[in-house]
Structure 1
């Protein structure tokens, strides 16, 4: 096991049936990271009949996923694909921008890549 810091920080704000989820990923994500994150999201969504979720995902310090964690990420996206409306991915580099575009082809939500977090928040409000 690596001593390098990794994990997920998550913030959830609720406005009626609308959610704003902020997500920061650091290091190489593990299955265990998703075991902590997913119940928080599920709990926040449990009592809302038709949630609409906008996300800011900060991946500037993300080094990737373990295979099982990548599967967890896909399962989370598929389980809530109709609830996610916009996902603003904040990162750096062509690879992260490319991954955002590829991911958006397979999901029904709008996804857009930003290098500036303030621009990402502004896009979510439009």
Structure 2
């Protein structure tokens, strides 16, 4: 499940991934991405993982398609998690986007939220 939280700045997407992500979860973010792009802004994404189990194959494919279609429109991505493989997710994403990507341990959550907004 992908939970979308309130947007504090007009170009920041704030999400929490819980369990396994499916195609419908990724599709929920698409309108938000296009709203930001229609304003001529770059996308900043705060992606927190809580008991995150990854993607099912359709969700993973949809996520890759969105990332590839908008690779130049991402400015920053904050990956927040508590398991070592969450850091791997951040490293895996780097070739698919021009964004600055940083991994933050869940204990650094407030630092990640500040970083994504500045």
TM category, shorter? 0.7 to 0.9
Specify the alignment match of 1:23 in structure 2. 15
Give 1 or 2: higher helix fraction. Answer: 2
Change (3 A) 1:36 1:56: closer
The CA deviation at 1:14 is 4.1
**Aligned with 1:59: secondary structure?**
strand
Structure 2 unaligned blocks of 5 or more? none
Whichever of the two has the greater Rg, that structure is 1
Alpha carbon RMSD of aligned pairs, Å?
1.9
CA distance in 2, matches of 1:33, 1:108: 23
Structure 1 unaligned blocks of 5 or more? 1-6
Matches within 5 A, 1:1-126: 7-11=1-5, 12-15=7-10, 19-42=11-34, 44-45=35-36, 47-48=38-39, 50-115=40-105, 116-126=108-118
Q: What's the CA shift string for 1:5-30, capped at 9, x where partnerless?
A: xx111243444xxx011011111111
Equivalenced residues, count: 115
